[in-house]
Amino acid sequence: MLKYKNNNLVNVKKILLLPVLLFLLASCNTTIPIHSFEEEIPKASPDYYNINHWIAHPDKFDNSEILPENVENDTFKLDSIDVFFVYPTLYFDGLEWNSEIENKKLNKKIENLVLKNQANVFTGMADIYSPIYRQMHIHGYKDNTNGVKAFDVAYQDIEKAFKHYLKNFYKGNRIVLAGHSQGTHLLQKLFTDYLFKNDSILQKIELSYLVGDVSAMSFTPNKISMCEDPTDLNCYLSWNSHPYGKEITAFKDQNIPVTNPITFRNNKDASLYNMHKGILISSFKFLLRKSKLKHPKVLSAKANNGLLWIELESFPLWKVYKKLLNNNYHALDYNFYWMNIRENFYQRMSKK
């Protein structure tokens, strides 16, 4: 058993919770742009011929290939699948509306937080392509003028990266899109602005993970629909995690479909605790050690009015997590169900 000098339990808990703190609490000390978008010197656009402008790519080793240490030898292996992954907002502490491609501090954060907690759910079953893009500052979501313009810059990069992938890397593999938060918003725009206008390319997309947003409201059903059952293809999955009982007035009676990432159905039935496979939790030496899958059978999920309600049985340090998360489970939209997502991906994509 580990022993700590001065028995400083508070500090120990903070160290153990580093990944969540970096995801959610970095914005507490955020610096925000105070100038208009037009006053900013335009950022250099990415060169996707440069392998370093991909945070994850099959032609180099990256953190998306690192599995949790207790599931390294699982048997989920598939071939001929590409995942185009767009990571979430981690640009909290800049003074400009868009991040720079060569922002080493931000890119390292993406490598250690997103690739090891989200994108790696597909490792061993797909080649992962994740482009670095000029991410919109988190404050852009609160500024309907400058934020929209910054988001459009980010989108230009994602569309450019996807077209580059199709032209230079695509070899006939099955294509899966996956994102979280800002990444999901950008993929939604990729659908509406590009894929829906190019049916021959849209037909190549076998599955999409539009996680961390109420995505279903944005799509025309005759173009793409939400997956109904655990083995459906040519559809999308969408959930947005919240504490059990939370309500958003604007969503009431809207009949917004939600994927339950435990059962992988979009009905309103709650999943049973014994169906939950575990939560991906990072070690206290997060940058040096791998994560572990822990605490199976502690979580139940239920769709309600566009949200995914989460009910958790107690597990070590959960009260601390809950307090730090401030009743916002958004950052753990992949971690909560990591192994359920992985098993279902294998089951679903093995269908063909």
The segments of the chain whose pLDDT lies below 50 read 1-22, 24-27, 284-288
Q: How much is the pLDDT for 80?
A: 97
How far apart, in whole angstroms, are the C-alpha atoms of residue 349 and residue 343? Answer: 10
How far apart, in whole angstroms, are the C-alpha atoms of residue 57 and residue 72? Answer: 20
Domain-located, residue 278: yes
pLDDT one-digit tens code per residue, 72-95:
788 999 999 999 999 999 999 889
| Residue of 233, 239, 288, 293 lying closest to 263 (CA atoms) | 239
Q: Is the dihedral of CA 10, 16, 18, 24 positive or negative?
A: negative
Q: What is the DSSP letter of 101?
A: T
Q: How much is the pLDDT for 173?
A: 97
Question: Looking at the 3D structure of the chain, how many domains does it have?
Answer: 1
- Identity of the residue numbered 100: E
Q: How much is the pLDDT for 351?
A: 79
Q: How much is the pLDDT for 17?
A: 41
**What 3-state DSSP class applies to 142?**
helix
DSSP bridge pairs for 205? 175
Residue 189 has phi, psi (to 5 degrees) of -70, -35
Residue ranges making up the domain that contains 99:
10-349
How far apart, in whole angstroms, are the C-alpha atoms of residue 192 and residue 252? Answer: 25
**Cβ-contact 247, 256 below 8 angstroms:** no
Domain-located, residue 2: no
Domain-located, residue 49: yes
Q: Tell me the DSSP string of 13-48.
A: HHHHTHHHIIIIIGGGG-----S-GGGSPPPPPP-T
Q: How much is the pLDDT for 261?
A: 98
Domain-located, residue 15: yes
Q: How much is the pLDDT for 240?
A: 93
Domain-located, residue 5: no
How far apart, in whole angstroms, are the C-alpha atoms of residue 144 and residue 142? Answer: 6
| Residue of 158, 33, 191 lying closest to 87 (CA atoms) | 158
Domain-located, residue 1: no
How far apart, in whole angstroms, are the C-alpha atoms of residue 131 and residue 47? Answer: 10
Q: How much is the pLDDT for 283?
A: 57
Left if phi > 0, otherwise alpha if psi is -120 to 50, otherwise beta: which for 179? beta
Q: Which residues contact 141 (CB under 8 A, 6 or more apart)?
A: 147
pTM score, whole prediction? 0.90
- Identity of the residue numbered 136: M
Q: How much is the pLDDT for 289?
A: 55
Q: Which residues contact 113 (CB under 8 A, 6 or more apart)?
A: 19, 22, 23, 90
Domain-located, residue 156: yes
Domain-located, residue 216: yes
Which alpha helices (H) appear in the chain, and where do they start and end? 9-16, 18-20, 104-109, 116-117, 146-168, 182-193, 199-202, 318-325, 338-349
How many CB atoms lie under 10 A from the CB of residue 326? 9
